Amino acid sequence: MIVRVYGSLNDFLPLARRQVAFLVRFAGPRSVKDLIEGIGVPHPEVDLVLVDGESVRFDYIVTDADRIAVFPTFGSLDIAEITQVRPTPLATVRFVLDGHLGKLARRLRLVGLDAICPAGADDDELAELAARDDRILLTRDRALLKRGAVKYGYFVRQTDAHQQLVEVLRHFGPLVLAPFSRCLRCNAELHEVSKASITSALPPMTRQHYDRFQACRGCGQVYWPGSHWKRLTRAVEAAIGEAR
């Protein structure tokens, strides 16, 4: 059969197969999902599969004579009425990240997005958590994304944490952002607290110079606009600006 992969899905192919049609041979019955993942493309990144010009589901059984076209998410073209592989859109965008993306998780929380990164979770646990809670799995592990339980997922291309944040905001945007509304440690929401209620827990200089405080509803961590605030604000503004 002849296969052609389009757009960003070419990131998963060897150079010789990028942006060109190529021949794929196989033995025995095989679904188009197995075929696509067999050439290296994780199924959660696929938004449309055409066989001889007709949209098919992932369980379509391929034949030797098929011509298959595989497409990533469409940015400006609405294909909701055509695609048969796109899962039901999530009502709320929430993420789960593998342990190698801990810095990205903190940056996603910094802009107000729900992003958990379970310490020590293995691939089975991450896939199960993503499926159970309808979270988008972010990872740089292709094998993890190929697991059947994963409906929503994305392979993060960048390796620098700031650029990873820009990439995720750009790919899933536009998103409703609320910077400095989540705990960087545990991901729970923050709420305003009075200075009087936490005075005994504050360092002397902080108690003297700051009057506005937030506390985490989960772990109790207290935040205030200290010397790091301007740096974090610049980082947030830069990432949002670059994503646009």
In a domain, 210, yes or no: no
Same domain, 41 and 103: no
Structure tokens at 71: 């497409």
CA–CA separation, 66 and 64 (whole Å): 6
Same domain, 57 and 123: no
Same domain, 95 and 165: yes
In a domain, 100, yes or no: yes
CA–CA separation, 151 and 130 (whole Å): 8
CATH for 33: 3.10.20.30
In a domain, 193, yes or no: no
Structure tokens at 111: 């802009």
Residue finishing a domain among 71, 96, 118: 71
Same domain, 165 and 47: no
**Element (DSSP H or E) covering residue 70:** strand 67-71
Residue finishing a domain among 41, 71, 101: 71
In a domain, 199, yes or no: no
The answer to whether the pTM exceeds 0.85 is: yes
Average pLDDT, the chain: 95
CA–CA separation, 221 and 188 (whole Å): 10
Same domain, 234 and 144: yes
CA–CA separation, 184 and 80 (whole Å): 35
- Averaged pLDDT for residues 72-83: 87
Same domain, 111 and 61: no
Closest CA to 45 of 175, 167, 145, 131: 145
In a domain, 219, yes or no: no
If pLDDT is split at 50, 70 and 90, which confidence band does 27 have? confident
Strand 67-71 to strand 48-51: parallel, antiparallel, or no bridges (unpaired)?
antiparallel
Same domain, 63 and 108: no
CA–CA separation, 134 and 130 (whole Å): 6
Domain that holds residue 62: 2-71
pLDDT at 226 over 90: no
In a domain, 187, yes or no: no
In a domain, 223, yes or no: no
pLDDT at 76 over 80: no
DSSP letter for each residue of 129-195 = HHHHHT-EEEES-HHHHTSTT--SEEE----SHHHHHHHHHHHH-S----TT-B-TTT-PBEEEE-H
Same domain, 122 and 160: yes
Same domain, 15 and 92: no
In a domain, 151, yes or no: yes
- Averaged pLDDT for residues 173-192: 95
Q: Count other Cβ atoms within 10 Å, centred on residue 198.
A: 16
Q: Match 């990028």 to its residue by tokens.
A: 18
Same domain, 56 and 100: no
pLDDT at 49 over 80: yes
Same domain, 44 and 93: no
- Averaged pLDDT for residues 208-230: 90
Same domain, 11 and 52: yes
Identify the pLDDT of residue 84.
Answer: 95
Residue finishing a domain among 24, 42, 71: 71
- What is the number of structural domains in the chain? 2
